[in-house]
Structure 1
Amino acid sequence: MTITYVIPDTHGCRTELQGALTKVDLCDPSTQLVFLGDYVDRGPDSAGVLTAVKDLCDAHPSQVIALAGNHEVWFLDWLDADDGDPTWLLADTGLVTVRSFLPTEVVERAVAALAGGSIEAVNTTIKREISARHSDLIAWLRQLPLFHETPTHIYVHAGVDEEAGPMWKAMTTAETFTEKYPPSLGKHAVGKLIVAGHTGVGPLHAREGRMRCWEPYVDAGHAYLDGRVEDTGVLNVMRYDSVSRTTSFL
């Protein structure tokens, strides 16, 4: 590939995602697009974002790579968990994620039943409705990879075990790939630039006196891209040209 575009955490912000995609020309077969995960939760249209990303993967299977983030892992864990565990559902403030997957009347009927039942019963109903209506989308989520490697870069949602050096693939746990925190900074022994989302770049810039800055944070070994689009409206896009070996940000 000649040009690689990278889009980090979109968190249900479909409008911002659509704007970012206008910058990416997938009609050029030398273009690659990597999504860093965290498509769901917080924003208004998690299901719409997932569908848009899946459609791109289906239409351009040799060019588009979608990675899993911790929010996809947590969503699947909830679907797979015992029906008596409503932890994920209770964390879905205003049921904003649930409402993106289900018709309003289905959600309202389930919520209304809470008055005469239990949260576990509501949890069961909503899980089954989502699983039944979005089986293809859920099956696609289950097979998302945790990283994508090129000769020069490692693309990942959160990070890798940098202390493992060249053995990072064998030594990094699934939890580290999707949930690593705090982020590692500076030079490392892995040997490639690590490009990640997950960690909001604002606090990283604040450490250096750049307050309220949501531009990508780049150091000697990393590029962190998460601009917290759900709060700031900033969806950072990285562009890497493998011929000129130059990186830019949109």
Structure 2
Amino acid sequence: MKRTLVISDIHGELELFEQLLSNVQYNPRHDQLILLGDYVDRGPDSRKVLDKIIELKAQGAFILRGNHEDMMIKALTTNDERSWKHWAHRNGGSNTLQSYGFSESEFIIPENKDFVKPVLHSEKLAGHLAFIQSLDPIVEHNDYIFVHAGVHPTIPIAETDPYVLMWIREEFYNNYRGDKPVIFGHTPTTILHNDKNNHSIYFGENRIIGIDGAAVYGGQLNCLELPAKVMHYVK
């Protein structure tokens, strides 16, 4: 049976990501790779991670959008001050922009200055922005739902705002009662385990499977292998 390999929340950690793919001996001819979002921000190599993911998608991987891609899109495609500062100042967007060769003086707005959105020219960044804008927030298979953050416990997926699928937390993982297991990232598994030292995959009694090992915070990058439900990880 073909393996399905699921990874989430890479956050610019290219070295860990490539090591994990090597460790599981990923082969696109025999394996189905599913990535659950948050490829950018906080880590050192967001640009190179997106280059890698574009290559993987061309080989057949399913690539979903996470909340950090959502923040990046809003910051780069609108003139909204809150969206810009939320991403570039407070949620790791500065690391992403630096990976494209920009310096902080080009995109950090001093608090005592009126907001004028920075003008940043990069063909590579523009191409990557178009790519992440094309990504879906969820994919549903016969046996599992794959999503970045989770699903609303009472609203059908087809009627759910994509924002919810990329951002929901407690309302989902505390209240989900659906028949089909949901595999998701976004919420570090230390929170789900209620153990700050436990970065392993979380298998909830309510058919939720959390895989975000908080690699960019010094945890581990997890890979869930299906159908065997085996955990692989690097740290």
TM-score using structure 1 length:
0.81
Q: Give the Å deviation of 1:92.
A: 5.2
Choose 46-55 or 73-82, whichever is displaced more: 46-55
Q: Give the Å deviation of 1:111.
A: 6.6
Instruction: Judge conservation of contact 1:92–1:98 (CA < 8 Å) in 2.
Output: no
Instruction: Judge conservation of contact 1:83–1:124 (CA < 8 Å) in 2.
Output: no
Q: Give the Å deviation of 1:24.
A: 4.1
SS of the residue aligned with 2:222? Answer: coil
198, 222, 226: which is aligned to 1:240? 226
Distance 1:33 1:45 in 2: 21
Please say if 1:100 is aligned against 2:99. Answer: yes
The match for 2:106 is 110
Please say if 1:80 is aligned against 2:43. Answer: no
Q: Give the Å deviation of 1:56.
A: 1.0
109, 113, 128: which is aligned to 1:137? 128
Distance 2:133 2:214 in 1: 25
Distance 1:93 1:178 in 2: 17
227, 231, 234: which is aligned to 1:249? 231
The match for 2:88 is 89
SS of the residue aligned with 1:236? Answer: strand
Distance 1:32 1:19 in 2: 18
Q: When you count helix as a share of all residues, which structure comes out higher? A: 1
Distance 1:147 1:169 in 2: 9
Classify 1:22/1:171 alpha carbon distance in 2 versus 1 (closer, same or farther; 3 Å): same
- Deviation digits for residues 186-214 of structure 1 (CA, Å, limit 9, x no counterpart): 7613x2110000001102212xxx45111
Percentage identity across paired residues of the two chains: 26
Instruction: Judge conservation of contact 2:44–2:96 (CA < 8 Å) in 1.
Output: yes
The match for 1:47 is 47
- Deviation digits for residues 161-198 of structure 1 (CA, Å, limit 9, x no counterpart): 2223xxx2223221110000114247613x21100000
> How do 1:216-231 residues align onto structure 2 when only pairs under 5 Å count?
216-220=201-205, 221-231=207-217
Distance 1:236 1:108 in 2: 31
Instruction: Judge conservation of contact 2:39–2:46 (CA < 8 Å) in 1.
Output: yes
The match for 1:152 is 143
Distance 1:21 1:161 in 2: 31
Q: Give the Å deviation of 1:83.
A: 6.5
Distance 2:131 2:107 in 1: 28
Classify 1:150/1:108 alpha carbon distance in 2 versus 1 (closer, same or farther; 3 Å): closer
Q: Give the Å deviation of 1:120.
A: 3.8
Runs of 4+ that moved beyond 6 A: none
Aligned pair count reads 227
> How do 1:196-235 residues align onto structure 2 when only pairs under 5 Å count?
196-206=184-194, 210-220=195-205, 221-235=207-221
Q: Give the Å deviation of 1:233.
A: 3.9
Distance 1:81 1:21 in 2: 35
Classify 1:124/1:249 alpha carbon distance in 2 versus 1 (closer, same or farther; 3 Å): same
Choose 149-158 or 80-89, whichever is displaced more: 80-89
Letter in 2 for 1:89: A
TM-score using structure 2 length:
0.86
Choose 231-240 or 17-26, whichever is displaced more: 17-26
Unmatched 5+ stretches in structure 2: none
Letter in 1 for 2:147: V
Unmatched 5+ stretches in structure 1: none
SS of the residue aligned with 1:4? Answer: strand
The match for 1:71 is 68
Distance 2:88 2:29 in 1: 41
Report which of the two structures shows the higher radius of gyration computed on alpha carbons: 1
The two structures, once aligned, show a CA RMSD in angstroms of 2.6
Letter in 1 for 2:197: R
Instruction: Judge conservation of contact 1:215–1:227 (CA < 8 Å) in 2.
Output: yes
